[in-house]
Structure 1
Amino acid sequence: MKIYKVLFIAMALLAFNLQFAQEQEQVQEEESLSLDGGPISSQFEYITSNSGNYNANGIRYEVVKLTFIEKLRQNVLDSLKVYNKKTAELNATIAASEGTINTLENKLEETTNNLMEVNEEKDSISFLGIMIAKGTYNFMLWTIITGLLLLLLFFIYKFRQSNILTQEAKTGLSDLEMEYEDHRRRALEREQKISRQLQDELNKHKKTK
């Protein structure tokens, strides 16, 4: 029997403690609710917990103090103002960020274009005011050099041919001059011989007279 009494007393104390703890928790919750702070949802709970109610024609009504409604209305308006202010600040931040992003994109595009121009200039050479690729420029340069070398070889060949013909012409002219001098000498000798023969004949003719 004593055991049953002890168990009964223990269960009664446990139930009392549980009920007391729930009541204390409810009191703390009610004390934490206020219209002077906290989220709007907790303020609604405060108004609901501090409002009266009655039934009429089977319909349950809540009786709320007008001051509570005015206070809640003002708190809602203040919250909306804060929200709108934060929204405006966020929109301004977003706009500034978009402006910064656009500026960075423009600078990136400009840098990319400058890099491409530098690469083109590095891979190109200005020829007569025209930018030409190095490969094309080298091809043109070596083509011109090859053409000039071919022209030089052609002129050297023609010069040598002309020199050979000139030497042959000089040799032929020298031989011709020698032949002419030999012919002139023989003609002179024949003329002198004829003159002597003519003079001898004249002398013979005078003697016969």
Structure 2
Amino acid sequence: MNFIKPLTLLTFLFSLTIFAQTPDSDEDKLSLNSGTLDNQFDYVIKKSNGWRDERGQEYRVIKAYWLTDLKSHVLDSLQTVRKDLVATEITLKAQAKEIDDLKTSLSNTQNDLDKTKGEKDSMMLFGVQMTKGGYSGLMWSIIAALLALLIFFIYKFKNSNIVTKDAKHALSELENEFEEHRKTAVEREQKVRRQLQDEINKQKVVKTKK
């Protein structure tokens, strides 16, 4: 730390010495054939001879070729500015066209994106474009209708099965009744035949006794 402080002080003193030895050369930098137009006008003003009249009005004598050179430089600068303006205008038009092209491209891209999103969110059913929500609702409606029909047919089948069982039971009972009736009829017929045969036999016995 003790070594750095003297070194810093010496550097500062050296800088001040150099600055003191450097002359104010702003006027030396002025030129009629180089630098900015502002510097060239300053050159003409500072290099021109000045005098005052009896009324104290200040005048300056400027060399004619200075004005000629200065005029030429101004015209060149104006020509350069015009060229820059034309180039800038061309660039702006090109950029405007590029912006319009980008807007058109962006619009087309947005339309394609919307179309792709619409196609992604939609389904084709029997040649008809439907949204996924509509497609899902239709599918669930069809499934619900088929499920309802299935439940209805199961209900009808169970009822038919019950009716069939009842019909079979009734038919079985009817067959049993018919069999009982047939047996009864056979027994009656046999009884009647025996009675008839007994009567015939009795008549024969009576005739024999006579």
Q: TM-score, normalised by structure 1?
A: 0.62
After superposition, residues 87-166 of structure 1 pair within 5 angstroms as 87-128=85-126, 129-133=128-132, 137-138=135-136, 140-166=138-164
Shift of 1:85: 0.9
Aligned to 2:12: none
Q: How far has the Cα of 1:69 moved from its partner? A: 2.6
Indicate conservation of the 8 Å contact 2:49/2:61, yes or no: yes
Deviation sequence 1:125-147 (CA, Å, 0-9, x none):
4445233235x644553454244
- In the aligned structure 1, how far is the partner of 2:111 from the partner of 2:181? 90
Give SS of 1:47's match.
helix
- Whole-angstrom distance in 1 between the partners of 2:173 and 2:88: 113
- Name the SS of the counterpart of 1:83 in structure 2: helix
Using structure 2 for the length normalisation, give the TM-score.
0.62
Matched, 1:68 2:66: yes
Q: How large is the RMSD of aligned CA atoms in angstroms?
A: 3.9
Letter in 2 for 1:86: D
Partner of 2:167: 169
Ranges in structure 1 where 5+ consecutive residues have no aligned partner: 1-17
The sequence identity of aligned pairs, in percent, is 39
- Residue identity opposite 1:131 in structure 2: M
For these two proteins, the number of residue pairs brought into alignment is 183
1:42 aligned counterpart, secondary structure:
helix
Selected match of 1:40 from 37, 40, 48: 37
Gaps of at least 5 residues in structure 2 are 1-19
Q: For the structure 1 residues 73 and 87, does the alpha-carbon distance in structure 2 shift closer, same or farther, using more than 3 Å as the test?
A: same
Task: Find the residue that maps to 1:38 and give its secondary structure.
Answer: coil
Q: Following the alignment from structure 2 to structure 1, what is the Cα–Cα distance between the partners of residues 106 and 125? A: 31
Q: Distance in 1 between matches of 2:94 and 2:67?
A: 40
Which letter maps to 1:180? F
- Structure 2: how far apart are the matches of 1:115 and 1:26? 64
Distance across 1 between alignment mates of 2:192 and 2:130: 89
